Amino acid sequence: AQSVSQHNHHVILSEAASLELGCNYSYGGTVNLFWYVQYPGQHLQLLLKYFSGDPLVKGIKGFEAEFIKSKFSFNLRKPSVQWSDTAEYFCAVNPTDSWGKLQFGAGTQVVVTP
Amino acid sequence: EAGVAQSPRYKIIEKRQSVAFWCNPISGHATLYWYQQILGQGPKLLIQFQNNGVVDDSQLPKDRFSAERLKGVDSTLKIQPAKLEDSAVYLCASSLDRQAVYEQYFGPGTRLTVT
């Protein structure tokens, strides 16, 4: 069965620390990959996406993610986090033959302390 | 532009009762999605509409859940009868079209508690 795994459920770090969130998926075919973010009290929103081409993609607010096809991974990174990055982060996979259908991971709650 | 609207925001019902949720997508968006998000899990797609037709309802528990999108705009999701395990946040999302290149915009969700 297809699955999306996020390695950490909770991450706590200090401002200016670097962040890396892991995401692995199991699917034999071609996929599109996404990271979504939900800030406290706000709607789920798109952070960045990968369809093809350069495996290093940049998103909003200084986030980037790297697609490693051989490892079925799409890890999210930010070199220096801010308190405002406190949020829940979701990795999502779209098999290219499934018309926009997204399969989400369980999410990682990130808390950035001042 | 206005975002995806959902109502009610919160609902508490007893098991075996029925409940309905409403969603108004972003104007002009052809594709509408309903997701179920159980506490501690990511959103799970229940049903996907393209205009007023169903594209995918493979994960919709059809014995108790139903959804419709009349006139290809607003949509309602109904649960009848509700079970304890239906307690979750129900998210509506919309996109310009159903290809993945079109971003899905999410509403605030309806938090359902079944007691």
- For B2, other C-beta atoms within 10 Å of its C-beta total 8
How far apart CA A101 and CA A53 sit, in angstroms, is 21
What are A97-101's contacts with CB under 8 Å, separation 24+?
A97/A29, A97/A30, A98/B56, A99/B48, A99/B55, A99/B56, A99/B98, A99/B99, A99/B100, A100/B31, A100/B48, A100/B95, A100/B98, A100/B99, A100/B100, A100/B102, A100/B104, A101/B45, A101/B48, A101/B56
- How many Cβ pairs closer than 8 A exist between chain A and B? 58
User: In this predicted structure, what is the pLDDT of residue B1?
Assistant: 65
Q: Do B103 and A96 touch (CB under 8 A)?
A: no
B3, B42, B55 ranked by CB distance to A104: nearest: B42
How does pLDDT run across A74-104, given as a tens digit for each residue? Answer: 999 999 999 999 999 999 999 988 888 899 9
Give me the percent of chain A exceeding a pLDDT of 70: 99
Helices and strands counted in chain B (H then E): 0, 11
- Which tens digits make up the pLDDT trace of B30-87? 999 999 999 999 999 999 999 989 999 999 999 999 999 988 899 999 999 999 999 9
Residue in chain A closest to B58 (alpha carbons) equals A101
